[in-house]
């Protein structure tokens, strides 16, 4: 079975990154969701972010 079909047969569990309203709406529907307190990597400094991304 493909991974997408496995997803269709599983309980949806969401990691939400960005707009908090999307997390709240999933919670309203009693769905499993973890909200990531996202901030731009390296304060939005692209060069530094690239270096950090390579390390992680």
Partner 1 sequence: MGLKSYVKKNSYYDSVVLMQVTKELKKSGEIDEVIVGMGTELNKELAGNLGLLTDELKEITANDFFVALDGKDTVDMDEVLVAIKELLNKKKTSEDEDYRPATVKSALKVMPEANLALFSIPGEYAFDEVKKALNEGLHVMLFSDNVSMEDEKTLKDLAKEKGLLMMGPDCGTAIINHTPLAFANVIKPGNIGIVGASGTGTQEVSVLIDKFGGGTSQVIGTGGRDLKEEIGGTMMLMGIDALEADEKTEVIVLISKPPHISVAKRILERVKKCKKPVVVDFIGGDQEMIRSYGAYPCISLEDTAHKAVALGKRETPGDFTGFSMEERAIDDMVENEVKQYSSSQKYLRGLYTGGTLADEAIMFLSESVGGIYSNKPKSPELKLEDVFKSKEHTVVDLGEDEFTIGKPHPMIDPSNRAERMSQEGKDDEVAVVLMDMVLGYGSHEDPAGEMLESIREAKEAMAAGGGHLTVVASVCGTEGDPQDLEETESKLKDAGVILLPSNAQAVKFAVKIMNRMS
Q: Would you tell me which residues interact with partner 1 (CB under 8 A)? A: 1-5, 7-8, 10-22, 25-29, 31-32, 34-41, 43-45, 49-50, 53, 56
Alpha-carbon distances of 15 from 1, 40, 45, 50, 51, rounded to whole Å: 23, 17, 25, 23, 24
What are 54's two structure tokens? 């390579």
């Amino acid at each position: 079975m493909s991974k997408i079909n496995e997803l269709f047969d599983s309980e949806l569990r969401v990691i939400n990154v960005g707009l908090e309203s999307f997390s709240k709406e999933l919670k309203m529907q009693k769905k499993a969701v973890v909200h990531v307190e996202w901030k731009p990597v390296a304060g939005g400094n692209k060069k530094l972010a690239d270096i950090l991304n390579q390390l992680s």
